[in-house]
Amino acid sequence: MSGGQFISFEGGDGCGKSTQLKLAAAWLREQGVQVLETREPGATDLGLELRRLLLSGEYVPVPECELLLFLADRAQHVKAMIQPALARGEWVLCDRYSDSTLAYQLAARGLSDSADLKPMLDFAEVGASPDKTFWLDIPAEAALQRVSARTNMGEESTRLDEEALSFHQQVHAGFAAIYREHTMRIHRIDATNTIDCIHQEIRLQLQGMLG
């Protein structure tokens, strides 16, 4: 079997990527693959603190601060968890990674206009970039309906979930632009399909990676 693979799951809030990540991890384990299921922000102890600062709503960071906190969380995550897992030959399935930063902070918050921030994003990755990314593509309106249904069922929403529709539309446009630049790495999936249909599509891709 090939060595560790790094796979990220991306998309707007409510796109269903966390469900798909779990299904993909379970299937890979059935194939005998060791899997690390992880997420951003907040996979490490330090990251959990950063996640609270970023998402609880207790603070409203300026965009520059928001960006730096997400990157701080990433650097800690990569060195403490992702790189060691890959070195052990495990597959890392990560719920959000740098494409989320590009879509949320650079595209939607408009930071991409202020400076060339890509080197900073590379710095925070500490050399770990995904081999494959699944982008669960869903229009912002539909995704937000799912988020508000979840909130009505008692799930807590985050500071970013509560941003206006226009923000989520910009996030979506951000992901679409990233996809157009990286069609080899990123596999776009129509996230309005059923859970099972999406899982089958992801399985096909994973099968190809298993060789």
- Which stretches of the chain bind ligand TYD, using CB under 6 A? 13, 18, 40-41, 55, 70, 95-96, 100-101, 104-105, 158, 160
Residue nearest to ligand TYD (CB): 104
Taking CA atoms, 59 is separated from 54, 65, 131, 134, 157, in Å, by 7, 11, 34, 31, 15
Q: How far is the CB of 88 from ligand TYD (least distance, A)?
A: 23
Among all chains, which residue has been given the structure tokens 């949320």? 104
Q: How far is the CB of 202 from ligand TYD (least distance, A)?
A: 17
Q: What are phi and psi of 91, to 5 degrees?
A: -95, 135
Distance CA 146, CA 115 (A): 34
Which of 4/14 has CB closer to ligand TYD? Answer: 14
- The C-alpha angle 104, 110, 112, rounded to 5 degrees, equals 90
Q: How far is the CB of 36 from ligand TYD (least distance, A)?
A: 16
Q: How far is the CB of 170 from ligand TYD (least distance, A)?
A: 12
Which of 12/33 has CB closer to ligand TYD? Answer: 12
Which of 89/181 has CB closer to ligand TYD? Answer: 181
Q: β-strand 35-39 against 91-95: which pairing, if any?
A: parallel
